[in-house]
Chain A
Amino acid sequence: MFEQRVGIVMDQELLTELYRKMLRIRRFEEEAARLYTEKKIGGFLHLYIGQEAVAVGSLSVLQDNDYVMTAYRCHGHYLARGGSARAGMAELLGKATGCAKGRGGSMHFYDVEKRFMGGWGIVGAQVPVAAGLAFAEKYKGTDAISICFLGDGAINIGSFHEGLALSALWKIPAIFVIENNQFAMGTPLEKTAPSEDLSIRALAYPMARETVDGHDVFAVRSVIHAAAKRAREQNLPTLVEAKTYRYRGHSMADPAKYRTSQDVEAWKARDPIKVIGEKMEALGMKSLRDQIDQEIEDEIQDAVRFAEESPFPAPETALDYTYV
């Protein structure tokens, strides 16, 4: 049953689920951007807008006991894993009700009960840590695996290579997904990689590799499903490159003047939410789609209200959570 739903086969229930999850991320972040400009969110705010199909497609084919780890552009993965919009929005506002009680902020979301393991800010450092999560599950003899997301900016740093080398050597059941959004902050890919093919680096360790259109949520599902099966059944890691695009700047502080509006528009023309939304309409599901739009709108507005009305953490708790 599940096998049939993977890949290009679409059913109405699946379309609805994917559309809902991607739109939820998009609307959450659009509201976050607004709150940032109102100075209600501090620090950095790195938006995932445009890349939603990668997180949603990937996590839609994993098990509840699998670990998810990512870099600092983490809202999308958190929400795709089922993280609460209320707790996420409250975290952005630094509130005590946030998903890290105001200790993490935009770059460090957590929902460990759902095995969403964060939200890490040092480029590439999460790669071997995510391998460690999967290493532990193999050690314990469970069937859980880990999936680790990283940006194209992370593929030259040592921790990326050490994580992959040890994962291949020790047969660690993990999936590493490079979300190639074409820019490492403001530096285009051609200045950071000698080949446009990023998964080719897997050959060196060696490990299985895949390249996928990150705007195609079904293609992402298919590739991650196969990689998860490889990890779960054979303890073999996979390096996946998902070619994608972020529509916003690197962070809210970045006007993204290093690229042309034609480039952005070309990617937006294939926007995964737009594509799935149109597909639903073509299949006569417009009223259902409108209903989902409204439900998401209600959830996000509720999350904003909740976040704004929530208390800040008490000053006397400033040193909490330093030691067990």
Chain B
Amino acid sequence: MSNAMEISSEQQSATREIQIRDALQEAMTEEMLRDDRVFLVGEEVGSYNGAYKCSRGMLDQFGPKRVIDSPIAENGFAAIGVGAAMAGLRPIVEFMTFNFSLCAIDQIINTAAKARLMSAGQLSCPIVFRGAGGAAFQLGAQHANSFEQFYAYTPGLIVVAPATPYDMKGLLKSSIRDDNPVVFFESELTYGKRGPVPEGEYLVPIGKADIKREGSDVTIITWSKSVFLCLDAAEALAQEGISAEVVDLRTLRPLDREAVLSSVAKTHRCVVVQEQHEVASYGAYLSHLISTEIFDELDAPVKVISTLDAPMPYSKALEVVLLPSKEGIVQAVREICG
């Protein structure tokens, strides 16, 4: 596991407001400067500067040996990354979206995640698979899925899904330094989102949740871009006199169980918000975990708000129906706090 240390805000000197795409670019650039073994491969990562401009300027800075434009062959370039990791390099494999990672999922699950166990520790696979996931304004059914839980199901993988620019940068750096295969989720909708990021070096540790808003009446657990939705809902709830705590998991595997259980033990109520389908989902697992570990602490059943159970339709009138909404979160909280 990562031995990354988080630096407290007091230690940081200057802080700027930067976009998530630039936070990611800084993370990759700093790690590539720090370690010659790190390289970036994926579709459009070089000359095009990244489909979402997350690798802006990196081809110019590092050259085509270390910033590699790949043809469209997810299984192939993901596997070349896996093999290179087994041979001692530290690849960053970018999927233009995680929807396309399904073409490579065999290499991620059957090769990368299992290499260490099958070889009894002779092989390790220090690789990061990163890219965008989730719905983003009418992408249609084949480009709008969130696949965190496909990977979170798999022992051997680390699964990271941060929300803010600060967490994106600090966790991507930790992921690149981690000796395990890491699946790192971003989202199309938030690449342009700005937030405070300090100048200079810092890491955010893998496996640590973060309380994004403190509260006392209910715990809202979420991850990835749904964090922003939940913060909006918490603000609306505050207007009604309900104090909601927002727990941003940041890492799904390994789960920060302590953070989840201690927050719910404090508030006695919990809503999980996930941009995932509910059947066999990560949110359902959290609900199970809370209900079995701290049943006596609960004043109400755990609610899970999920994407509705259909492939994502194109029309904006339908897309909003399927996705978790601020109003839906507020309503769910009212129901269990009433």
Contacts and interface: CB of A to CB of B under 8 A. Distances in A.
Given A128-B79, A323-B156, A118 B1 contact: no
A118 B119 contact: yes
Contacts of B83: 128-136, 146
B110 A118 contact: no
A169 B39 CA distance: 18
A117 interface: yes
B294 interface: no
Contacts of A127: 79
A129 B73 CA distance: 13
Interface residues of B, number: 44
Contacts of B110: 121-122, 125
A100 B180 contact: no
B32 to A, nearest CB: 13
Contact of A140 (B68, B86, B88, B123): B88
A162 B87 contact: no
Nearest to B103: A158
Contacts of B126: 324
A137 interface: yes
Most interface-central of A128, A133, A172 (chain B CB within 10 A): A128
B7 to A, nearest CB: 24
A102 B124 CA distance: 17
Interface string A128-171: 11111111110110000010000000000011001101100110
A7 B116 CA distance: 38
Given A67-B87, A139-B39, A128 B118 contact: no
B73 A166 contact: yes
B119 A104 contact: yes
A139 B121 CA distance: 24
A12 B65 CA distance: 46
A324 B116 CA distance: 8
A137 B111 contact: no
Contacts of B86: 117, 129, 132-133, 136
B71 A129 contact: no
B301 interface: no
Interface string B93-133: 00000000001001100110001111111111010000000
Interface in B195-250: none
Most interface-central of B1, B73, B106 (chain A CB within 10 A): B73
B89 interface: yes
B79 A321 contact: no
Contact of B180 (A112, A134, A323): A323
Interface of A: 67, 100-104, 108, 110-113, 117-122, 125, 127-137, 139-140, 146, 158-159, 162-163, 165-166, 169-170, 172, 320-324
6 contacts: A120-B111, A122-B110, A129-B111, A133-B84, A159-B79, A322-B117
